């Protein structure tokens, strides 16, 4: 019992470490990647002595500035809810990372550790529930600010998230039909092996349509640029218009953490999570040839591959965010309800029919 | 009264999109490939430069301003200067041509007699309020003596007060 508590605390510390660091690193990535894409240099002036470290000190400079800014609560607003809103957003997105496995079960001495904090049989459902609850942060922020623009932003945000939540949930049903489990760690484990010998048996190859729909709906969930309706810099500044200082920084960080979460979910559901192609527990299998590796190296490789896949998604989200213009509100709703939802239902139907035929042939 | 002729323009027909474009995803991928190409090309250039190579191309179209300056055209109009004679006195003869033509009325000249009888006058004071100047260059055009030019290349002009923006003859005679 004691060992289990210590194990969980260590895992929570590790998860917080990589999640928070990745989230704040994304503020730098956003500036630098957009700059490089647009033939600019990007923020590179923040320095300690002669060291500029390609602008990495900008993260510290930004956070220091935001910490020392005045924390202002609008006079007509609800002070309690105004303070609660960023906490709620932050809490639910951080909680979701407890269900993300970064590696396989490992054995230290005679003690086995599963590299996921909550290895529940319904962990995927918990993630989706927590992501839906995250809407409350937006709603409270808009309501408590006593500002019409905030309220409009929060209404838009909740409308968008509700619409895309349905598609978001429906896209993974196809995947669940194939893997027949809600446990994320088990879903990752079932993506081991290969399809017809050469494709890795990843969700993206089993569910190509589902993957595209999942990624699009996931982008809408992160509320970043092509689906930037809640903020809409040119129209209303958004639900956090009355926020300043650290509370605003928390909202901004939640945006980035949601990108990380969607990237991590896409990785574990569709890109095989920590699975490395051809890598089994004892080494690489190429046909009958075996390149054996020690269990330590296998674990290191698996965790590294998880983060490489995650970084690819983060890079891709940034690429989309800095390439595509924002949808108009009606276009967003049309895309969500008239195109994505029918397509995701079609995806479920197709998967079910194919599975039925497959099962009748293979017993 | 002349007859008014109104040409009625036809509204352009809405652009026809092919099915391929209406699927939307391939076109998005095409757009993303353009930005991704820029990203990888520039990233490659930056990484090569970091390791001391000299790659072709700059990797950015921006100038890192305080260290790196944009090359200007030789004709650029920058801060004024008053040209000098061989003995170091200003060439200006206080004819008031520049003060007259100045559209912003930012030149203030007080003339006085020149000690040399061959030269009619000299400026006792020659002030330009740079804060008001519009850098049109008409003073340079108007000057019959080639006494004022705008070729210093200085364009970082700043002061802490409005008085500080007034450049006197000693500032301009450089």
Q: Do A324 and B28 touch (CB under 8 A)?
A: yes
Residues B49 and B109 in one domain: no
User: Would you say residue B99 has pLDDT above 70?
Assistant: yes
- Give the whole-angstrom CA distance, residue A318 versus residue A300: 27
Q: How close is the nearest chain A Cα to the Cα of B157, in Å?
A: 23
Provide the greatest CA pair distance for chain A: 72
pLDDT at A157: 87
- Give the whole-angstrom CA distance, residue A238 versus residue A223: 11
Residues B58 and B91 in one domain: no
Q: How close is the nearest chain B Cα to the Cα of A39, in Å?
A: 4
Residues B55 and B108 in one domain: no
pLDDT at B161: 93
Residues B107 and B157 in one domain: yes
Residues 63-102 of B with CB under 8 A from A: 64
Q: What percent of chain A has pLDDT over 90?
A: 30
Residues B91 and B160 in one domain: yes
Residues 104-123 of B with CB under 8 A from A: none
Q: Are A309 and A301 in contact (CB under 8 A)?
A: no
In chain B, which residues have their Cβ closer than 8 Å to the Cβ of A29?
A: none
Q: Give a yes or no: residue B155 inside a domain.
A: yes
**DSSP secondary structure, A132-170, as one string:** HHTHHHHHHHHHHTT-HHHHHHHHHHHHHHHHHHHHHHH
Q: Do A212 and B25 touch (CB under 8 A)?
A: yes
| pLDDT tens-digit readout, B24-34 | 888 889 999 99
Residues B102 and B45 in one domain: no
Q: Nearest CA to A129 among A164, A169, A100?
A: A169
User: Which has the minimum average pLDDT: A104-118, A149-163, A275-289?
Assistant: A275-289
- Segment holding B166, helix H or strand E: strand B166-167
- The ipTM assigned to this model is 0.84
The whole domain housing B100 covers 81-172
Question: What CATH number has the domain bearing residue B147?
Answer: 3.30.70.3270
In chain B, which residues have their Cβ closer than 8 Å to the Cβ of A45?
A: none
Residue B63, both tokens? 């100038």
In chain A, which residues have their Cβ closer than 8 Å to the Cβ of B61?
A: 39-40
Cα dihedral A273→A275→A276→A282 (10° resolution): 150
Residues B55 and B97 in one domain: no
| pLDDT tens-digit readout, B119-132 | 888 999 999 999 99
pLDDT at A226: 85
**Residue A282 — pLDDT band, cuts 50, 70, 90?**
confident
Domain extents for chain A?
78-362
pLDDT at A110: 79
Q: How close is the nearest chain A Cα to the Cα of B15, in Å?
A: 18
Q: Do B32 and A320 touch (CB under 8 A)?
A: yes
**Residue A318 — pLDDT band, cuts 50, 70, 90?**
very high
Helices (H), B12-159: 19-22, 25-50, 97-101, 138-142
Burial class (CB in 10 A: 0-12, 13-18, 19+), A351: buried
Classify the C-alpha dihedral A184-A190-A192-A197 as positive or negative.
Answer: negative
pLDDT at B149: 92
Q: Are A348 and A170 in contact (CB under 8 A)?
A: yes
pLDDT at B167: 92
Q: Are A239 and A145 in contact (CB under 8 A)?
A: yes
Which pairing describes strands B107-113 and B81-82: parallel, antiparallel, or unpaired? unpaired
| Interchain CB contact of B60 with A (< 8 Å) | yes
Classify the C-alpha dihedral B157-B159-B161-B164 as positive or negative.
Answer: negative
Number of H helices, E strands in chain A: 13, 7
Strand partners, A285: A290
| Interchain CB contact of A40 with B (< 8 Å) | yes
| pLDDT tens-digit readout, A241-272 | 888 888 999 988 998 999 999 999 999 999 88
Q: Give a yes or no: residue B11 inside a domain.
A: no
**Residue B52 — pLDDT band, cuts 50, 70, 90?**
confident
Domain count, chain B: 2
Residues B67 and B87 in one domain: no
Radius of gyration of chain A (CA): 22
Residues B30 and B54 in one domain: yes
CB hemisphere CA count around B166 (13 angstroms): 12
């Amino acid at each position: 019992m004691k060992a289990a508590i210590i194990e969980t605390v260590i895992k929570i510390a590790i998860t917080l470490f990589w999640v928070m660091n990745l989230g704040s690193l994304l503020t730098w990535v956003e500036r630098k990647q957009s700059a490089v894409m647009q033939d600019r240099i990007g923020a590179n002036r923040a320095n300690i002595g002669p060291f500029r470290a390609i602008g990495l000190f900008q993260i510290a400079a930004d956070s220091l500035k935001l910490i020392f800014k005045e924390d202002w609560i609008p006079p007509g607003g609800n002070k309690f809810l105004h303070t609660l809103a960023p906490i709620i957003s932050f809490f639910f997105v951080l909680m979701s990372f407890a269900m993300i496995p970064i590696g396989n079960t490992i054995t230290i001495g005679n003690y086995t550790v599963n590299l996921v904090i909550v290895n529940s049989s319904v962990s995927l459902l918990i993630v989706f529930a927590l992501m839906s609850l995250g809407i409350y942060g937006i709603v409270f922020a808009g309501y408590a600010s006593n500002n019409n623009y905030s309220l409009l932003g929060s209404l838009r945000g909740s409308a968008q998230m509700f619409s895309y939540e349905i598609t978001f949930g429906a896209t993974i049903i196809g995947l669940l039909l194939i893997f027949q489990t809600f446990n994320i760690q088990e879903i990752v484990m079932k993506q081991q092996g290969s399809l017809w010998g050469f494709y890795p048996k990843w969700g993206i190859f089993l569910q190509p349509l589902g993957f595209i729909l999942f990624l699009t709906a996931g982008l809408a969930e992160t509320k970043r640029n092509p689906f930037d309706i809640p903020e809409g810099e040119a129209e209303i500044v958004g639900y956090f218009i009355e926020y300043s200082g650290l509370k605003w920084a928390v909202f901004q960080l939640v945006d980035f953490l949601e990108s990380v979460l969607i990237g991590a979910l896409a990785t574990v559901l569709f890109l095989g999570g920590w699975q490395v192609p051809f890598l089994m527990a004892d080494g690489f299998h190429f046909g009958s040839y075996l390149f054996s590796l020690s269990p330590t190296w296998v674990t290191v490789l698996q965790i590294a591959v998880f983060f490489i896949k995650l970084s690819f998604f983060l890079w891709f989200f940034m690429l989309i965010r800095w390439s595509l213009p924002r949808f108009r509100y009606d276009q967003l709703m049309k895309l969500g309800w008239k195109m994505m939802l029918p397509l995701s239902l079609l995806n479920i139907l197709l998967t079910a029919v194919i599975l039925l035929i497959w099962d009748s042939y293979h017993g | 009264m002349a007859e008014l002729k109104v040409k009625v323009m036809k509204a352009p027909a809405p652009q026809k999109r092919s099915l391929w474009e209406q699927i939307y995803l391939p076109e998005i991928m095409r757009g993303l490939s353009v930005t991704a190409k820029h990203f990888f090309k520039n990233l490659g250039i930056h990484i090569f430069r970091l390791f001391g190579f000299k790659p072709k191309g700059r990797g950015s179209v921006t100038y890192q301003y305080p260290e790196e300056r944009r090359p200007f055209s030789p004709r650029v109009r920058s801060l004024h200067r008053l040209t000098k004679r061989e003995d170091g006195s200003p060439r200006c003869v206080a004819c008031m041509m520049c003060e007259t033509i100045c559209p912003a009325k930012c030149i203030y000249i007080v003339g006085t007699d020149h000690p040399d009888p061959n030269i009619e006058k000299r400026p006792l004071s020659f002030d330009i309020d740079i804060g008001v100047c519009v850098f049109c260059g008409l003073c340079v055009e108007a000057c019959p003596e080639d006494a004022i030019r705008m070729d210093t290349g200085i364009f970082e002009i700043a002061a802490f007060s409005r008085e500080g923006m007034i450049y006197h003859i000693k500032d301009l005679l450089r």
